[in-house]
Structure 1
Amino acid sequence: MVEFAYQAVPDSAATWRETARRAEAVGVHTLLVPDHPGSCAAPFVALAAAAAVTDTIRLGSYVCNAGVREPMLLAADVATLDVVSGGRALLGIGAGHTPAEWQAIGRSRPDVNGRVARCIAVAEATMRLLSGAEVTVDGPALTMAGARLTEPRPVQDRVPLLFGGGNTRLLEWAADHADIVGLSGLGRTLADGHRHTVRWRLDDVDAQVDRVRGRVLETLVQRFQITDDAEGALADMTEHTGLTAAQLRATPYVLVGTVDEIVSSIREHERRWGISRYAVRPPALDLLPTIMAGLSAA
């Protein structure tokens, strides 16, 4: 069964409440909020507000930057969200990439190996705290002593863990520890600190999926558009990525075309890679009912 998550941020109380209600009403599996301190809403505050006006939709971060988050505080946020939502929290975590986020808290962004080590250490410590364990860590990436989350305790026995990223070592770690693996196909961070190169060719996707088969796979969709002119709609992306429109439409990170074409692409992704979830962004919420109906009819 194909499921959709919806990543959005609040811009006002009224519109955020309506977004959460609509996402639940159309059948979105999880409402997600990104984590970019200084340029984005605080994810768990926004998700707690969404919990107050919904009943069934899951609520999660996509994804918390492990480089600038501390496990004790992160675990408390997740556990609190789980309590106020009645057991609907999801923890999404990644290694982070934006240099400004480290600079804002007085740190320098580590190299790739340092970010990977920090992500694994923070994710493992946070999940152990959520499980009720006492956590002591003394390593170059993280230091904690006798930490325990006594209150609040999560409602769920295990809060689901979503890893988002594409680093090879992290994917191998996620294959053993994460409940959901979120693939973005993004490569190295460019000089502006925000944009990336992409790894969207079919052999790139094959290589990443081969490392995490057996886990629930979700892709972060970078363009979602219903159109009769897919080539025209993708002209800007072909220039940025160096891929043709046909190559872009073959990746699981782009859902562009007619309803039938998008449904066919989703079925092919499911067949080839076992992808069963898609995280989409505004304005995709308006399009989802049409695509879901197409999937049901296919």
Structure 2
Amino acid sequence: MSEHPIHVSLQASPQDAASWVDLARRCEDAGFRALLVSDHPGSGPSPFTALAAAATATTTLRLGTYVLNAGIRDALLIAADTATLDVVSDGRADVGIGAGHTPAEWEMTGRTRPDAAGRIRHLIDVAGAVRTLLDGETVPAADVGAVRDVVLSGPRPVQEQVPLLVGGNHPDLLTWAGAHADAVGLSGLGRTLPDGHSHTVSWTPARIEASIAAVSAGAGAVGREVPPLEALVQVVTVTDDRRGAVTDMAQETGTDVEDLLAAPYLWVGTAEEIVEQVRAARQRWGISRWVVRAGAFDAVRGVIARLAENS
């Protein structure tokens, strides 16, 4: 497995115009790889609109969705929005796609939420069609249930190939992503809880290794290198008492404290200890890319600075 460079991205949502473009500038200045926006219609912003606004305030920061709900979005519209973002950002668009999990998003758009297997099959169809369209090729009508073949004649992306990330936790999804995606997002999230938003978590080494094995199997089946692995960091806590900070969480999740402290979905410790944890995770699991949420911006900025010093 190749050792990819370590990169950190920020997932955030706009609250107003001034603070949003300021955040985008600060992300670029601090050395974040990308600014990312999630996709929760009805309870969150339109990701492409937000990212286009951020593009006007930056020049090198990448801009991406993390992740689109493939269950309620049409492949042609995803490809068109992504290509447009790539044009207005002068070639800085990433597109991240997932299977979706929030029941209300299906219900409010007049759809029936499939079971997990159905959502994964649909994600694979949509993600494959988006890749094909962005590459300038035609998607046969039968592949997407259309009445005529689907083509994106314009706008054409600036990038020769817009990076496609597929994110999730299901083994079938991860295997397909290993074979076809430009990056794979590992969420560490399990079953959706009754509130429709929260999840169980699975942060044991065995579960992490099983997810990575699925990605590796997909890559191996088509004779390609394992694409970059990107972990969504659920908790960032800067403290000089690592063990004390996760004791309650270890009990709640049924995970050994040492295993929890090594998990890529949790950053705990001083900035120096978090840097050490990140480097250890890359060596152990090949995870080289990380996504943190906006509330951790100040803490993570220090981590990025130390990573740059030791690169």
TM-score (norm 2): 0.91
1:288 to 278, 281, 300: 300
Rounded to whole Å, the distance in 1 between the matches of 2:98 and 2:279 is 27
Matched AA of 1:262:
I
* Equivalent residue number for residue 277 of structure 1: 289
* Equivalent residue number for residue 265 of structure 2: 253
Q: Give the 3-state SS of the residue equivalent to 1:194 in structure 2.
A: coil
Residue 96 of structure 1: how far off its partner (Å):
0.5
Rounded to whole Å, the distance in 1 between the matches of 2:309 and 2:86 is 35
- Runs (5+) with no aligned partner, structure 2: 217-225
Matched AA of 1:295:
L
2:32 to 9, 28, 31: 28
Residues 32, 304 of structure 2: 8 Å contact kept: no
Rounded to whole Å, the distance in 2 between the matches of 1:162 and 1:109 is 23
Q: Give the 3-state SS of the residue equivalent to 1:135 in structure 2.
A: coil
Root-mean-square deviation (Å): 1.5
Aligned residues: 296
Q: Give the 3-state SS of the residue equivalent to 2:160 in structure 1.
A: coil
Rounded to whole Å, the distance in 2 between the matches of 1:61 and 1:165 is 14
Matched AA of 1:113:
A
2:242 to 221, 226, 230: 230
Relative distance call for 1:53 and 1:291 in structure 2 (3 A) is same
Rounded to whole Å, the distance in 1 between the matches of 2:303 and 2:234 is 16
User: How big is each residue's C-alpha offset from its partner over 1:67-88, in whole Å with a ceiling of 9 and x where there is no partner?
Assistant: 0000111111001000000010
1:199 to 189, 202, 218: 202
* Equivalent residue number for residue 189 of structure 1: 192
Percent of aligned positions with the same letter in both sequences?
52
Residue 6 of structure 1: how far off its partner (Å):
0.5
Rounded to whole Å, the distance in 2 between the matches of 1:126 and 1:202 is 33
2:90 to 86, 90, 93: 86
Rounded to whole Å, the distance in 1 between the matches of 2:15 and 2:205 is 37
Query: 1:31-46 alignment to 2 at 5 Å?
Result: 31-46=35-50
User: How big is each residue's C-alpha offset from its partner over 1:118-164, in whole Å with a ceiling of 9 and x where there is no partner?
Assistant: 1000111111111122222436xx41221111111111111100011
Matched AA of 2:265:
Y
- Runs (5+) with no aligned partner, structure 1: none
* Equivalent residue number for residue 18 of structure 1: 22
TM-score (norm 1): 0.95
* Equivalent residue number for residue 175 of structure 1: 178
